[in-house]
Structures are given as structure tokens and as C-alpha cells.
């Protein structure tokens, strides 16, 4: 009986042993998988030298953004001073004119006739004055001889005065008519460039009718509206850098005037900036930029490096081989140079040490306590020496 049971007992033992071996192998595989799944979290984040910037004290220029349209300081509109037909107009848009240059001619037929009429009226008034003068002289002689009374002499004196006034008025009418003849010539009041041609030859223009508009591009200003809370910091003479539509390079400007009154509705104050002469500037172009309010030394970092997705502003710094979050207190904003083009910076008044390596916003989303290191590359030659020390 015992011999019959032995094969079954041996089979059961073998089955239990193989089950234990399979269970142990499965547990070892699970442990290996769990170790492999946690290994990426322990990977070191490589940072390029361009991904970090040292917090350092530099000259921070506090700026105020401005925008608006360009406008020529000197503009003029040539108007018709008499109602007449436009005979000729020698200029078109884009033509250059000089001050005093004759650019067109109105028809003189009507004003010539008025001038002739005024001259004939003056001749008639002159004749009447001569008659009154002779009558006055005769009456004075008769009064002296006692042939007429003094009352008759006073009447002659009054008639002579009236004739003299009529003659003077007629002479003034002649001068006015001659001026109207001269006004038929269209003359450029300033030198500049024709921007608009508002009438064509053959058209009849009324008095003060617009014919040509001229702009002087030698002096260009930017008209910018500034909010009431910001205009107090703007001063005449402050320097600005503007980007004008159509121009590749920035244009230097300075605050020339500040309007003493606010704009109706918006309560904004108009500030006028004089632009440095430069080819390509045109009236009406849009420009935007910043005006420098003041300069001072301050511990600053790029605005893009400050994270605002937390209850308080913070930055991430590379410290002792890992990324550390630092809550910071911010101050004034401005522009500064960090070994290249000027960029927007913000002052840090607390929470950050001088020389700390701050991660730029280009790094993207990162977490605190993640291991990180600064990757060495050829670009590191332009990075601050503090990078190598870290």
C-alpha cells in the first residue's frame, strides 16, 4: 500500500516545488519592473548655458511703453483765396516743393474784370473829389468877399470831406482787386513734399477750397497717449527707442512736449516725441516703443524667468545639483543688457541671492528637487564664469 502511494507523493512534492519557483521568479520580475519604472524619475536634467542666467546687479532702466502715429511738425494746406476755376496745377503726390514756389494758377477772368471796375470807380471818385475841391475854394473866396454866408461854406466843406472819403474807399477797392488778382497764383507756404492733390485742373474751387497738402518730413513727431497715472513720471528730454512700421532698425527719439490738458473721454495726456531724422519716416506710420524714465543699479532677472502660476511670484534656481524653488519679492520693471540685445527685466528685492543661477522661461515646466546639471558646450564660452563654478 505504501509503495502505491509513493509515486503520488513524489508528484505532489514536485508540483509544489515548481509552483514555489514560478512564484519567486514572478516576484523578481515585478521588482525589476518597478525599479525600471522609477529610474526615469531619477534621471538628471541637462541644462544648456542659454537656459540659465545669473541674478546680478546691473543698470536697470525703468521704461514706459508708448505707441501712436507719426505726424510732421510742419504741415500746410494750399487753399484757394478766391472762387475761380483751377487752370493749372504743376505738382502731384510725392513732388518736392520749396517755400514760395508757384505750384498752380486760378482763372483770372473774373478778378480782372473786378479790378477794372474798381479802377473806373476810383476814377469817378477822383473826379467828384476835384469838383468838391474847386467848389470849396470858390465858396471860401465868396465868403471872404461877403457874397455868401458861413453856412454855405460849411456845406462845401462837408461835401469835400465826403468826396475825399469816397475816393479813398475807391482806392482801397482797387488795392483789394489787385490783391485778388495776385491771389490767383497758388504758392507753397512751406518747403516739403506734396502728400495730397485735392483738386484737378478744370474744377471750380470755392473760397478756402483745399487744393494741395504739403508736409515737411524734416521734423517728425510721435503723438502718444499716456495714462494719467503714468504721465507724472514723463519729463521733457527723456530718451525713447521706437520701432516704426516698415523700418528694420529702432529709431531714437526724445520727449519734446507734454500737453497740459487731457483728452476728453479717455483722460489720457498726449505726449509728443521728436524723432531723429532718418530715411523712410512718413507721416501716419504707426510706431511703438518705450521711453526711459530713470536708471538705477538693482538685482534683476529676466521677466520671463519669473513664474506667476503660484500664489506668490517664484523662480527656479540651479543649486547644489538640483532645481530649487525660491519665492521672490519683485520691484520695478525695466530693460537691461545681458551680454546681448536688451530684454525686459524685473527687480528682485527679496528672496534671491546675488549670483544665483536662475532658469529662464524657455526651459518650460519644471519641478522642484529634480536633479539637474549644466551641460558643457561651445556656447558656454559666452556664459558668465559663475556657470563653471557651479
Q: What is the CATH number of the domain that holds 176?
A: 1.10.287
Q: What is the CATH number of the domain that holds 99?
A: 2.40.50.100
Is residue 202 predicted with pLDDT exceeding 60? yes
In a domain, 27, yes or no: no
| C-beta separation of 91 from 197 below 8 A | yes
Q: Which position has the higher pLDDT, 345 or 74?
A: 74
pLDDT tens readout for residues 278-304: 888 999 999 999 898 888 888 999 988
In a domain, 30, yes or no: no
Is residue 40 predicted with pLDDT exceeding 60? no
As a whole number, mean pLDDT of residues 122-146 equals: 86
Output the pLDDT for position 39. 45
Output the pLDDT for position 384. 43
Is residue 38 predicted with pLDDT exceeding 50? no
Distance CA 380, CA 81 (A): 72
Note the pTM of the prediction, 2 decimals.
0.62
C-alpha torsion 120→123→127→128, nearest 10: 70
State the alpha helices, DSSP H only, in the chain: 2-38, 109-145, 150-182, 228-231, 385-389
Distance CA 64, CA 233 (A): 9
As a whole number, mean pLDDT of residues 241-249 equals: 90
Output the pLDDT for position 94. 92
**Domain boundary pick from 155, 180, 205:** 180
| Grid cell in block for residue 183 | 491771389
As a whole number, mean pLDDT of residues 101-115 equals: 93
pLDDT tens readout for residues 294-348: 888 889 999 889 998 888 899 999 988 899 999 999 988 777 877 777 778 888 9
In a domain, 97, yes or no: yes
Q: What is the CATH number of the domain that holds 338?
A: 2.40.30.170
Same domain, 84 and 155: no
Same domain, 206 and 253: no
Output the pLDDT for position 386. 41
Is residue 35 predicted with pLDDT exceeding 60? no
* Mean pLDDT over the full length of the chain: 85
Domain that holds residue 195: 75-107+184-214
Of 203, 213, 205, 245, whose CA–CA distance to 95 is shortest?
Answer: 213
Number of domains in the chain: 3
Output the pLDDT for position 31. 61
In a domain, 25, yes or no: no
Same domain, 131 and 257: no
Same domain, 315 and 224: yes
Same domain, 374 and 227: yes
Same domain, 301 and 351: yes
In a domain, 307, yes or no: yes
Same domain, 206 and 159: no
Same domain, 226 and 297: yes
Question: Which residues have CB under 8 Å from 260's CB, separation 6+?
Answer: none
**Domain boundary pick from 193, 214, 235:** 214
In a domain, 38, yes or no: no
Give CA 25 to chain center in angstroms. Answer: 75
Report residue 382's pLDDT band, with 50, 70 and 90 as the boundaries.
very low
| Grid cell in block for residue 253 | 527719439
Question: Which residues have CB under 8 Å from 83's CB, separation 6+?
Answer: 204, 205, 206, 207, 209
Same domain, 263 and 385: yes
Grouping H, G, I as helix, E, B as strand and the rest as coil, residue 256 is strand
Same domain, 152 and 251: no
As a whole number, mean pLDDT of residues 269-286 equals: 91
What whole-number percentage of the chain has pLDDT above 90? Answer: 46
What whole-number percentage of the chain has pLDDT above 70? Answer: 86
Same domain, 128 and 141: yes
Same domain, 144 and 263: no
Is residue 252 predicted with pLDDT exceeding 50? yes
As a whole number, mean pLDDT of residues 187-213 equals: 94
In a domain, 354, yes or no: yes
In a domain, 17, yes or no: no
Distance CA 211, CA 194 (A): 11
**Domain boundary pick from 180, 205, 237:** 180
Amino acid at each position: 500500500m505504501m509503495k502505491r502511494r509513493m509515486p503520488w507523493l513524489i508528484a505532489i512534492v514536485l508540483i509544489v516545488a515548481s509552483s514555489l519557483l514560478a512564484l519567486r521568479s514572478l516576484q523578481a520580475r515585478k521588482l525589476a519592473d518597478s525599479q525600471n519604472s522609477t529610474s526615469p524619475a531619477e534621471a538628471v536634467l541637462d541644462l544648456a548655458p542659454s537656459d540659465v542666467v545669473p541674478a546680478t546687479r546691473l543698470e536697470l532702466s525703468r521704461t514706459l511703453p508708448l505707441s501712436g502715429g507719426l505726424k510732421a511738425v510742419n504741415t500746410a494746406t494750399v487753399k484757394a483765396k478766391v472762387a475761380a476755376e483751377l487752370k493749372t496745377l504743376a505738382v502731384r503726390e510725392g513732388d518736392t516743393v520749396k517755400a514760395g514756389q508757384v505750384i498752380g494758377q486760378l482763372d483770372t477772368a473774373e478778378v480782372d474784370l473786378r479790378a477794372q471796375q474798381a479802377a473806373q470807380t476810383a476814377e469817378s471818385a477822383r473826379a467828384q473829389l476835384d469838383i468838391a475841391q474847386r467848389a470849396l475854394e470858390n465858396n471860401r473866396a465868396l465868403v471872404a468877399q461877403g457874397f455868401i454866408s458861413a453856412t454855405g461854406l460849411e456845406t462845401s466843406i462837408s461835401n469835400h470831406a465826403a468826396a475825399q472819403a469816397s475816393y479813398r474807399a475807391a482806392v482801397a477797392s482797387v488795392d483789394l482787386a489787385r490783391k485778388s488778382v495776385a491771389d490767383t497764383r497758388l504758392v507753397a507756404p512751406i518747403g516739403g513734399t506734396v502728400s495730397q492733390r485735392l483738386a484737378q485742373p478744370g474744377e471750380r474751387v470755392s473760397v478756402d477750397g483745399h487744393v494741395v497738402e504739403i508736409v515737411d518730413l524734416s521734423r517728425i513727431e510721435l503723438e502718444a497717449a499716456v495714462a494719467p497715472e503714468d504721465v507724472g513720471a514723463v519729463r521733457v528730454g527723456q530718451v525713447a527707442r521706437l520701432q516704426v512700421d516698415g523700418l528694420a532698425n529702432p529709431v531714437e527719439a526724445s520727449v519734446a512736449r507734454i500737453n497740459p490738458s487731457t483728452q476728453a473721454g479717455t483722460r489720457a495726456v498726449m505726449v509728443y516725441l521728436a524723432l531723429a531724422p532718418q530715411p523712410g519716416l512718413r507721416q501716419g506710420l504707426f510706431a511703438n516703443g518705450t521711453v526711459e524714465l530713470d536708471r538705477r543699479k538693482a538685482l534683476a532677472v529676466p521677466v520671463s524667468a519669473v513664474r506667476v502660476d503660484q500664489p506668490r511670484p517664484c523662480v527656479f534656481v540651479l543649486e547644489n545639483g538640483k532645481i530649487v524653488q525660491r519665492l521672490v519679492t519683485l520691484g520695478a520693471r525695466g530693460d537691461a543688457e545681458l551680454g546681448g540685445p536688451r530684454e525686459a527685466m524685473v527687480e528682485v528685492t527679496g528672496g534671491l541671492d546675488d549670483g544665483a543661477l536662475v532658469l529662464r522661461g524657455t526651459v518650460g515646466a519644471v519641478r522642484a528637487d529634480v536633479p539637474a546639471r549644466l551641460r558643457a558646450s561651445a556656447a558656454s564660452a559666452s556664459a558668465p564664469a559663475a556657470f563653471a563654478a557651479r
